[in-house]
Amino acid sequence: MLNELAIQTDLVFLGLAEGVTLTGFDAPERIAPFYLDRAVRLVAVKLGARGARLFTSTQREMLPAFPVLLADTVGAGDGFAAGMISGMLDGLALPSCMERGNALGALAVTAQGDQEGLPTREAPTRFLATARILRRSGES
């Protein structure tokens, strides 16, 4: 039933375990074509602390997660989806949408509960600016 609904959408966001359950495939590179071959335009496979993989018919992207102090994983997927979709609505390129998605997912896991860690509109911008500085300086 879930796959019947998913293939009627343009975007599919799922965790690796969900992808395994729904498709029977055990790797993002095999899960994504299951949906792309059925006319889904974009598939994002969330990999938790390892980041996320994004697939379209012409693009393959991997973006690592941001290291944060974990309080609760509830809300990480919602944060990722909110970041991806808000980035798309803002006209960002897909890698930037993924970066925003990973940032919101990271911020979500720093607080207990499913929405307490979701930020204001300005918080991801500050978080990403700090993360970029740390990456350039070699600190993580």
CATH code for the domain of 15: 3.40.1620.20
pLDDT at res. 135? 77
Reply yes or no on whether the pLDDT at 28 is more than 80. yes
Reply yes or no on whether the pLDDT at 140 is more than 60. no
Number of domains in the chain: 2
- 57 with 104, same domain? no
Q: Please tell me which residue in 10, 37, 72, 78 is annotated as part of the active site.
A: 78
pLDDT at res. 41? 97
Tokens of 16: 């690796």
Q: Which of 64, 91, 112 is the last residue before a domain boundary?
A: 64
Residue 13 sits at φ, ψ, to 5 deg, of: -115, 125
**Averaged pLDDT of the chain:** 91
* pTM metric for this prediction: 0.84
Which residue is it, tokens 């207990």? 112
- 16 with 50, same domain? yes
pLDDT at res. 121? 77
* 78 carries an active-site annotation: yes
Task: Say if residues 128 and 99 touch (Cβ distance below 8 Å).
Answer: yes
Q: Which of 29, 64, 99 is the last residue before a domain boundary?
A: 64
Reply yes or no on whether the pLDDT at 6 is more than 60. yes
- 96 with 58, same domain? no
Q: Which of 43, 64, 85 is the last residue before a domain boundary?
A: 64
Reply yes or no on whether the pLDDT at 77 is more than 70. yes
- 2 with 59, same domain? yes
- 30 with 82, same domain? no
